[in-house]
């Protein structure tokens, strides 16, 4: 039996079995992430505290713990979204951290949930963002994969159209045995209560297929879990009711993966050439930069002043073909003309940016 600990209220508990003991990690909102190490007999042997954001996922690589933190912070003009991987050695001692993704969302856009999956080789991280309007919630999906060496980002895309006034909760992501994906989420609106499943190809983009399970109008879902077994998607979730008519319970269901992954729907066409644009322009002090890539590869988006001096590198990473977005917050820059350059191994584009303060 593990030695008992007397802690203040703690959240997001993580428990992992090491080669020579156990690793326990919990979140204390006053102190940070509390990590404890126990020997094989359950005796406490050490611990430390990391000032990281909420830890929503954990897994082991060669008996070494990994914690995944999804973080968000308001920069003063927009929300910043970060996904960070924290690595520990086989004794459960902190070793290193790796920034998997960092995005500054557009004005009015905010974070809206996350999901993670590790299949023994690839870590898949999914985050949602939403830009509400008077009638719809405009969602975007941000997916990142990490194979232990390379970080790959999927261009953000919208899973809608959703029903009017609907929103998404209980995200889920599964990487299948043939390296495709199933995305799931609970859609709740004025008239609809549905559990959606979307099929994604190996590049993380939707293949336009969808499977929907209706949910009772007075039910809420949480604890969504996905796994693959003999060609079927097995999923389970916990139901509760907001009106007290049903105390709660668990459901397990399944359907053939081919319904999603072998659909014959046509996929959106990829761009045929490199393109770069910014809006607003002129701007003060934030401008959203949109660019398209006809093929996957390393992309760099850089800001220069009129004398050709580098001001800031916004992106330098491997991206899939498609449309991508980033933003420049020029809070510290002086008014004037700047230049944004998009570079790939095969081509480049440059556009002027006019900052008016």
Give backbone dihedrals phi and psi of 42, rounded to 5 degrees, phi first: 90, 10
Residue 92 pLDDT: 92
Using CA atoms in the order 165, 79, 286, 289, what is the torsion angle rounded to 10 degrees? -70
Residue 269 pLDDT: 56
Residue 218 pLDDT: 58
CA distance 166 to 188: 5
Residue 266 pLDDT: 47
Report pLDDT digits (tens) over 140-169: 899 999 999 999 998 888 887 777 777 888
Sign, Cα dihedral of 93, 99, 100, 105:
positive
| Cα separation of the two ends of the chain | 64
Report pLDDT digits (tens) over 41-63: 989 998 888 888 788 899 999 99
Residue 335 pLDDT: 92
CA distance 215 to 225: 16
Q: Which residues of the chain have pLDDT under 50?
A: 265-267
CA distance 253 to 344: 45
Contacts of 304 (CB under 8 A, 6+ apart): 310, 311, 338, 339, 340, 341
Residue 2 pLDDT: 52
Beta-carbon neighbour count of residue 35 at 10 Å?
A: 23
Give yes or no for a contact between 321 and 351, defined as CB atoms under 8 angstroms apart: no
Report pLDDT digits (tens) over 102-114: 998 888 888 988 9
């Amino acid at each position: 039996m593990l030695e008992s600990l007397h802690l203040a209220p703690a959240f997001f508990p993580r428990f992992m079995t090491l080669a020579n003991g156990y690793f326990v990690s919990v979140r204390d909102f006053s102190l940070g992430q509390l990590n404890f190490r126990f020997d094989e007999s359950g005796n406490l042997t050490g611990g430390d505290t990391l000032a990281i954001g909420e830890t929503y996922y954990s897994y082991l690589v060669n008996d070494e713990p990994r914690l995944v933190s999804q973080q968000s912070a308001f920069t003063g003009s927009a929300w910043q979204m970060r996904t960070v991987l924290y690595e520990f050695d086989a004794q459960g001692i902190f070793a290193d951290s790796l920034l998997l993704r960092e995005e500054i969302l557009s004005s009015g856009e905010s974070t809206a949930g996350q999901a993670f999956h590790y299949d023994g080789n690839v870590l898949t991280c999914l985050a949602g963002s939403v830009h509400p309007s008077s009638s719809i919630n405009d969602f975007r999906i941000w997916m990142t994969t990490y194979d232990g060496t390379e970080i790959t980002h999927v261009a953000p895309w919208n899973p809608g159209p959703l029903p009017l006034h609907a929103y998404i909760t209980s995200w889920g992501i599964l990487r299948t045995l043939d390296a495709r994906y199933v995305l799931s989420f609970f859609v709740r609106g004025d008239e609809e209560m549905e559990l959606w499943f979307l099929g994604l190809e190996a590049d993380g983009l939707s293949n336009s297929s969808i499977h929907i399970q209706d949910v009772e109008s007075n039910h809420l879902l949480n604890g969504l879990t996905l796994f693959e077994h003999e060609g079927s998607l097995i999923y389970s979730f916990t139901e509760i009711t907001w009106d007290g008519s049903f105390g709660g319970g668990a459901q397990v269901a399944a359907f053939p993966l081919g319904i999603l992954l072998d659909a014959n729907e046509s996929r959106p066409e990829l761009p045929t050439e490199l393109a770069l644009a910014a809006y607003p322009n002129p701007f003060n002090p934030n401008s959203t930069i949109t660019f398209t890539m006809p093929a996957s590869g390393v992309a760099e988006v850089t800001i220069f002043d009129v004398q050709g001096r580098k001001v800031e590198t916004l992106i330098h990473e491997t991206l899939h073909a498609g449309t991508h977005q980033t933003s420049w917050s020029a809070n510290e820059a002086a008014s004037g003309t700047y230049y944004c350059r998009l570079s790939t191994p095969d081509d480049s584009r440059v556009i002027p940016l006019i900052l008016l303060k």
